[in-house]
């Protein structure tokens, strides 16, 4: 009886494919995590603008108009309604990073867990407009 022989290189190729394939599939399923960054000189007015993403995070724009996204540890009460926020820097003085916090007036502190570069906030997230005076007596002096 003639049994066909598999060439030695073909057998090695089959073994390599079987051992490599599960790792390749696992690598496809895991998304790359964005690199952590920091914003320097926050204590010297280096923040130009910010926009809340509900209660879960905030987009931050620096003076060079670069956008960042700060993901928070948990829901930050009052962030979605705040007209102003403060930044409490973490490890390095004056540097906003993943060890920093956001201070919401009248509500408290919200811990940042991740700070990464980002695209600008989507147009669906609208910035709150400042309140206008609607009382005619207050608007016009007598």
Do 43 and 53 touch, CB atoms closer than 8 A? no
Q: What is the pLDDT of residue 92?
A: 66
> What average pLDDT does this structure show over 18-29?
48
Phi-psi group of 64: left, alpha or beta (phi > 0 → left; psi -120 to 50 → alpha; rest → beta): alpha
> What average pLDDT does this structure show over 42-66?
93
Residue 63 CB-half CA count within 13 A: 7
61-83 confidence digits (pLDDT tens): 999 999 999 999 999 999 999 99
Q: What is the pLDDT of residue 84?
A: 94
Say what the pTM is.
0.66
Give domain limits for the chain.
Answer: 42-118
Q: Residue 140 has what DSSP assignment? A: S
Q: What is the pLDDT of residue 10?
A: 52
């Amino acid at each position: 009886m003639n049994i066909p022989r598999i060439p030695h290189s073909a057998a090695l190729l089959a073994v390599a494919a079987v051992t490599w394939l599960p790792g390749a599939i696992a690598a496809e399923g895991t998304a790359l995590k964005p690199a952590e960054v920091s914003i320097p000189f926050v204590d010297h007015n280096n923040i130009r603008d910010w926009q809340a993403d509900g209660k879960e995070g905030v987009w931050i724009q620096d003076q060079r108009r670069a956008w960042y996204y700060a993901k928070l540890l948990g829901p930050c009460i009052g962030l979605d309604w705040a007209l102003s926020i403060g930044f409490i820097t973490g490890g390095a003085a004056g540097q906003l990073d993943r060890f920093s916090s956001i201070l919401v007036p009248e509500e408290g502190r919200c811990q940042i867990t991740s700070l990464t570069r980002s695209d600008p906030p989507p147009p669906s997230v609208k910035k709150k407009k400042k309140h206008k005076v609607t009382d005619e007596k207050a608007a016009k002096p007598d």
